[in-house]
Structure formats: C-alpha cells, structure tokens
Amino acid sequence: MTETTPLQPPSQTEDPIETVALLKERAEGALVQGDHEALFTLVQDFPAIDIAELLEELSQPDRRAFLEIVQHQLPAEVVSEIDESLREEVFEILGPAGVAAVVSDLHTDDALDLIEDLDEEQQREILSSVSAGERAFLEEGLSYPEESAGRLMQQEIVCVPPFWTVGETLTFVREMEDVSDHLYDIYVVDPSHQPIGAVSLGALLKNPLDQVVSEIMRTSIHPIAAEEDQEQVANLFRRYSLVSAPVIDDAGRIVGMIIFDDVMTVMDEEAEEDLLLMANVGESDFHEPVWTTAYWRTRWLLVTLFDVLMSAFVITHFEASIQAVTALAALMPIGANLSGAFGMQVTTVMVRALATNSLREADTWRAVRKEVQVALVIGGALAVFSGGLVTFFLKNPPLGGVLAASLMLDMIWAAFAGALVPIVIDRFNLDPAISSGPIITTTTDILGFAIFLGLATLFLL
Amino acid sequence: MTETTPLQPPSQTEDPIETVALLKERAEGALVQGDHEALFTLVQDFPAIDIAELLEELSQPDRRAFLEIVQHQLPAEVVSEIDESLREEVFEILGPAGVAAVVSDLHTDDALDLIEDLDEEQQREILSSVSAGERAFLEEGLSYPEESAGRLMQQEIVCVPPFWTVGETLTFVREMEDVSDHLYDIYVVDPSHQPIGAVSLGALLKNPLDQVVSEIMRTSIHPIAAEEDQEQVANLFRRYSLVSAPVIDDAGRIVGMIIFDDVMTVMDEEAEEDLLLMANVGESDFHEPVWTTAYWRTRWLLVTLFDVLMSAFVITHFEASIQAVTALAALMPIGANLSGAFGMQVTTVMVRALATNSLREADTWRAVRKEVQVALVIGGALAVFSGGLVTFFLKNPPLGGVLAASLMLDMIWAAFAGALVPIVIDRFNLDPAISSGPIITTTTDILGFAIFLGLATLFLL
C-alpha cells in the first residue's frame, strides 16, 4: 500500500487549492462506489487542513455521508481545522461522545479553540464526557481571558529537574506515552516549578548521556505571563525566533507552553485586524449575513457621516461666496482630498512604525519635522501645478493663488496631524490603528473646505 | 559566574524595550570603567537581537568603542540582526576579514541577507575571503530571485538515505561538526537526491535504534520550488503548521530548507506591504530621507490628483445648476464620501478574503449579491436620514429626494465595484491590494458628483 500518492510532479510547489480539488474528486468517486477503505485512507494520509477544506467543499449530503462513514477514523486535528460555520453540523453527526473523544485527543489549545464558542450547556456536556484530568486542563484554560497567552498555550509539556542527565531525560521522553511530533524543547524547572532553562531535542542528541541538563540548557527562555495579550506573544516569538516559550502563572510557575505554529495564526489574525481597521471595518464580515454586516459597517460609517455633515455645514456658511464665484464649488474638493490622501499615508507609516517599535520617544519630533518637510515638498509641487492650471485655464490668477495657498496649509496640517495623532493615541495606551484614520480624514476634509472657502472669501470678494 | 543575570522578576513577560534600556545602562557603565570582560559577557549571554538594538541605541562614539572592544567576540548573529542603516559603520570597524568571518559563521540565508544589498565590489571582496564551499553556496543563493524561496532557504541541511536505521542517523547527526540548535527535521532523499520524506528529531528519539527511517518518516513534506515567491512559502507554512520544508530545484532535487523563523519575518513583511498599500504607500519610508519620501508618496498621490481633477471637471459642467441652487455645493460631497468609505470597506474585506483563499470562484456572485444587499440596507438608512435632514432643515423635499436617490445609486455602485474590482484584478493574476482602492475611491467620487448634480439638474431646474 502506498502511503500517499503524490498529487504533483515533484519539481513544483504544491498548490493547496488544486490539492483540495483533487481530494474532492477522489472523495466523490469513493462515495459513489461505496469504497469506505479509500475514504479511510484519505483522512489518514492527508494533512488535516486539506481534509477540513475538502469537507467544506463537498455538498451537504456528500459531507454528511462522508462524515458518517469516517467518523471513527477521523483524526481530531481535522475536526479542529473545520470552519466554524460547519462545526454545528459536524458535532451533530459525531454526537457528544464523539466530540468528547476529539477534545481528549487534541492539545489543550486546540481543544479550547473548539469548545470556547459553544454555548454553556454544550460545553458542560462535553466537559462531563472527558477525563477528570482533561477537564481540569480545559477549565483552567477557559479561565484565562480570550486572546491571552493562557488560551494559546498547550498544557502538555515535558519538564525535568536540573540535576537530571541527558540519558535520564532521553529515557523519560522515550517512555512517555504520547510524544507529539511537535515536541521541540524540554523545560528545566526548579523545585518550585519555575522554569530556569530549556533544552532542545538537538542539544539532547548532541551531548553525552552522562551530561547534566543544567549544563547544556539555554537560559534565555523568554517566559510569558499567562494573562499576556497574544499580540505581545507574537512580538516575542518574532523578535527572538522562538520555536516555543514557557507560559508562567503569577508565582512564576510553568503552566504550559506556546509553540510557533499557534503564533503564526496569531500573527495572521493581528495583521488582518490592522488591515481591516485601516478601512474602518472592525473584523472581517465576509462570512456574516447581510444584516450583521450592515450593522457592523454602519457603526464605522457614522464617522464618515459626521464628516460629511460637518463639511456640508462649513460649505453652507460660504454659500454667498460660491454664488459669486461658482468655480469655488469645483475647486473646493481638491485640497480636502489631496491632503486627506497624504494624511492617510503619513498616519499609516506612523502606525506601522509604532506597531514595530521603530518609533522611539526621542524620535517623535524628528519624525513630525520630517513629515512637515515632506508636506512642504509635495504640497509645493501640487500647489504650483494646480494653481497654474487655474491661472491658465480659468484665467483667474487670484483664484489660482488662493487654491495654491490653501493646498499648502492643508498639506502641512495633514503632515502634522498624521504624524502626531497616532503618537498621542499610542501614548494613552490606545490602539492608534483604530482612531487615527477617521481623525485625519475628518479634519482634512473640514479644514480643507474651510481654509479654501475662507481664503477665497477674504481675498476674492 | 552566572550565565545570565535575569533582568525581570520571573512572573512577568519580559519587555524587550526595557531589556534593551537596561543593557544600554550596563554597556555604558562598562565602557566608562573600561571593563572589557563585562562587555564580552554581555554579547555572549544576551539574544542577538537585543545586542543589535543596544548597538543602535548607543551614541556613535560609544558604539564605535564597544565594537572595537568586542569585535572578535561578537556573535555573527548580532551582526546579521543590526539595522541596515548601521551596517556600513559596523563593516568598516570589522574590516573585510571580520565580515568574511561573520558571513562564514552564518547560515546561508542570513549571510545572503547581509551581503545582498552591498555593491558588487564589496560583495566580491567578501566572497573572495570565504572558503570555496561557502562561496559556492552564497553564489548559488544570490542566483535566485529576490523574495524567492531560494533566498529564504539555508543550504545547511541533514539528508539521509531511506535504508538507514535510526541508530545510523543518530550517529551521523552526533558526528556532525556543527549541529544547529535550529535543527528540527532530517530529510530522507532517494538516490537522485529528491526528498521523499522527513523525520523529526522527536521521531528519532522515540523509535528503536534498529528501525529503518523510511518506515518512520512522514511523507507529506510540502517541497517548495526554489523560484517560488516568499508569500506562497508563508501560506504553505501557515496552512500546514510547518517547522521546516525542503526546497527543490527544477529537477526536484533538494537544495536547501526553509525554517519557520524566516517565514515569520516574511509574514511580517507581507502584512506590512498589504497595510501600506491600502493607504497608497508602496513601502515604509519611515527611515528614508525627505526627498525620497516625497518622491515615493507623490507617485501614489497622482491617482488622487487625477481623481480631484476629474471631479472638478464634472462639477464645472454643472456650474449653472449650482449657481441656481447653491445648497447643491454643500450637499454634493455627501454621496461621494459616504459611498467612497463604504466602497473601501467592501474592497478591503474582499482583498482579505482573496488573500486568505476564502473566496472561491463559485462564491463570486454570492459575494457580490450580498454586498449589494448590504448597500441597499445601509444606503436606504442613510438616504432616509440625509433626505430627511434636507427636507426638514432646508424645507426642500425635492432636493431631499434627489440626495436620497443619488446616495442609493452611489452605494450600489460602491458595493458592486468594491466587490467585483478586486476579484477581476485577482483573476488577471495581479495584486488586488494595489489597484482596487484607487479605482473605488476615484469612481465613487466622480460618479457621486455626477449622479447627484445630474439628478438635481434633471429634476430641480
């Protein structure tokens, strides 16, 4: 029996989408022929995420038939990878005992992820079907705040005392019932169970059997408090290229460990969050129904609504001027829009510099000064260009002058606010990604209209 | 001698910024006292990234003094972590021989990273000072395109034939001169050097010494073509929670491996790229001088400039209408801005769904239909609200009706274009993150003004 039939010629990177499409063909074929053996092979041999996506791709009746055939052969990891929208359906087929078996098979972090969104009754039902030890693990995990290190960690760890030898440690690991393929580091703990070092499997292999682990352990292990926010966890892993890190409680005792692959998921989530916030969407509503989406988006659009109403209010004040020089109406969005776009550029660069810790307190004024200088250069070029256009095409040099001057002022404001607002928000320990954008856009709009129409009224009428 | 004096009580996650600040204090103290031994201890005991940032934080004369003292003790990893802006300075102190020694000590991926930005003469000078084998490795690495798997990989790998036993493999690893702490997987290769499986160190530890590796290897190893783009590499690692993956050439032969920590850096870079593109900044110009920044930003602002000029052109066409009903000038930005903001929400959610492969071809029309429905809900609410305001405050029901109707049309366009444009761009294998935003903003602006002023001219005059 071949273990895995390769789906691709070996000289190319595999394409997950093609893999899933081919799996779907095979699964549908096996379902038609009633070939259960082929389905068992499929779920055993392919990565959990591919099988999970295969399930999402199958039609509802096919999925049901597939799951009913393979349910006792289905690796727990597949269930943990299945999209949330299908969980209810899958849980129903597996039944409480089946789900409890899956939860017992998973590491605590994945098990938590599976049950944390269930309603309390379902949670209780599942918790009551797992072993007492497992239940204690899960209940401890659930006690940590969402998006904290405590939720990310797995409680399955290997700890040894510092006086053990490499040989003793190796025997201990070999005799463990269930060593994960994802075991990379063994932690060395003192009598009070505080982690004092870590030994990689590589170090265990290299060193003689009678060497004491405290002599070969590395001591910079970067312990993480269980309450720590997951974004900080991701920063630490990235910074120090960690494969794993111990998680500690208030007393400094080791309670679990976090592994790099969970951190990759977090990095992804945090990147998504930042990107969506920039466009004023709180979180992806791609899978949400119409009404939820409309509600979420409207909340964010209220800022824009405030912006347009204030702008309309400002413009109304200058109706007489517009009546006198109607070209003002056509030209007034120029400064507002250009400085708004520039302000967003400044703010985004700042938000990113803050997020990556590139902006130190001492650099604040240097950064602001630089942005104002950039505004003078770009604003100058834009002012000459657009002022020139007006002078040339509308044969109205004073109007061109007013446009150029107001554009310069708009750009300077955009640079100043774009640089300073994120820094000030960050200083108050708030997330500059959320509120900087709307503040910049709203102020550049309102000021843009007010400055241009104000200067025009002063000098042209 | 204590190996590392802990800088923090053990019950808290360490804060890298504080760590670096404390290191700076120690380093400055040691420099004043001329305590070379303390500096040697510092650079040996602390993580490379912390020492690299310490160097960035020191004043220029302190940095020079520090480097001249520790240069022969400085771990190669510290040099590889130093910010690009300081590399020139550091290389000057280390001299070509020192840099060549650093390059020889690093894995090929980090060594490449260090030399790829040097000018050709400097590169040649360094390449001629390293061993012939090292030089061949580096020249091969430099032959791969930037941002490809070939640049990310390290060529230092451990390969064994499939008929070897666990015992033979362990002996082989133990006898290797320089086993990295970052060794996680050993690759099993066939006679033509194509990777056919991988064995984790954990699997080696668990299995009896006389077991043949081909019986314990895992076969889904996700080989990556050396020319593959780094974004695809990151997607594979994330998807399959890989700790390492083999890199293969055109003939399917293994040429290196990529390790998770390099992928974390890539994930970070790609996230930054997406975020900055959303705000129309190509890449972070935080560390660039004023003129470069101004030049880069201006290129992106040209789209906005086109937008405002087109809008001005459209508005100019309706000057007579504005002259007749000046309230039009105050109200015309409402639809353009609201639909622009909504369109950006739609586009961002779509771009993200495409980037995470959540949007399959079959879902396209469902996604577009949903966004149009959301537009009808939000647009309806905004239309009633703003039309009502105009009717109530300006006592002008027809104007309120025109505003409401044009707002609805703007929102429907924003939903339609916001959803479809990224999909179409993606279908042409271009990056939807780059061009979707400007297309949405420009069309919502121009259409917003045209529809509102057009309807007003039709129905109010």
- Mind listing the pLDDT tens digit for each residue in B349-372? 898 888 777 777 777 888 899 999
Angle, helices B16-33 vs B60-70, to 10°: value is 80
Q: How much is the pLDDT for A288?
A: 82
Q: What's the average pLDDT block by block, 10 residues per block, for chain A (461 residues)?
A: 47 81 92 91 90 89 92 90 84 88 88 84 86 88 90 91 95 80 89 94 89 93 93 89 93 94 87 80 80 89 92 94 93 95 92 77 85 96 95 93 96 95 89 85 94 95 83
A281 to chain B, any CB pair closer than 8 A? The answer is: yes
pLDDT for A4: 46
Give per-residue pLDDT as tens, B375-427.
999 999 999 999 999 999 989 999 999 999 999 999 999 999 999 999 999 88
Could you tell me if B315 lies within 8 Å of chain A, comparing CB atoms? yes
What percent of chain B has a predicted confidence (pLDDT) above 90?
Answer: 52
- In chain A, which residues have their Cβ closer than 8 Å to the Cβ of B11? 225, 248-252
Selecting from A49, A323, A373 the residue whose C-beta is nearest the C-beta of B323 gives A323
Domains of chain A: 16-147 (1.25.60.10), 159-259 (3.10.580.10), 290-460 (1.10.357.20)
Number of helices followed by number of strands (H, E) in chain A: 21, 6
A142 token code pair: 């659930």
A56 → chain B, closest CA residue? B358
Residues of chain B contacting A297 with CB distance shorter than 8 Å: 342, 345, 374, 378
Chain B partners within 8 Å of A291 (Cβ): 377
Which of B2, B4, B7, B13 is most worth mutating to test chain A (most A CB atoms within 10 A of its CB)? B13
pTM for this model (two decimals): 0.82
| B241 neighbourhood in chain A, CB within 8 Å | 182, 261, 264
**Those residues with Cβ within 8 angstroms of residue A432's Cβ, 6 or more apart along the chain or in another chain:** A350, A351, A354, A421, A422, A423, A425, A426
User: What was the pLDDT predicted at B10?
Assistant: 60
Average pLDDT over residues B298-326: 92
Q: Is B253 left (phi over 0), alpha (psi -120 to 50) or beta?
A: beta
Which of A300, A345, A426 to substitute to test the interface with B, most B CBs within 10 Å? A345
**Residue B206 pLDDT exceeds 50:** yes
- Residues B258-270 as b/e (b if ≥16 CB within 10 A, e otherwise) read bbbbbbbbbbbeb
Q: Mark which residues 113-172 of A lie under 8 Å from B by CB.
A: 149, 170
CA distance B298 to A260: 40
Give residue A10's pLDDT.
60
Give A397's contacts (C-beta < 8 A, 6+ positions apart). Answer: A391
For residues B91 and A192, give the distance between their C-alpha atoms in angstroms, rounded to a whole number.
Answer: 46
Residue B2 pLDDT > 50, yes or no? no
Q: Within the 369-408 window of chain B, which residues sit less than 8 Å (CB to CB) from chain A?
A: 370, 373-374, 377-378, 381-382, 385, 389
Q: Does B272 touch chain A (CB under 8 A)?
A: yes
Q: Any chain B CB within 8 A of the CB of A232?
A: yes
CB contact set of A392 (below 8 Å; sequence gap of 6+): none
Q: Partners of B244 in the beta sheet?
A: B259
Torsion of CA B85, B88, B93, B96, to 10 degrees: 140
Residue of A183, A203, A278 lying closest to B202 (CB–CB): A183
Q: Does B319 touch chain A (CB under 8 A)?
A: yes
> What is the three-class DSSP state of B372?
helix
Task: Give the pLDDT of residue B179.
Answer: 67
Which residues of B, range 41-80, sit inside 8 Å of A by Cβ? 45-47, 49
The nearest alpha carbon in chain B to A285 belongs to B349
Report chain B's mean pLDDT, rounded to a whole number. Answer: 89
With CB atoms and an 8 Å threshold, state whether B271 touches A276: no
The answer to whether A329 touches B316, Cβ cutoff 8 Å, is no
> Torsion over CA of B300, B302, B304 and B310, rounded to 10 degrees?
-160
Stretch among A274-288, B127-141, B308-322, B325-339 having the lowest mean pLDDT: A274-288
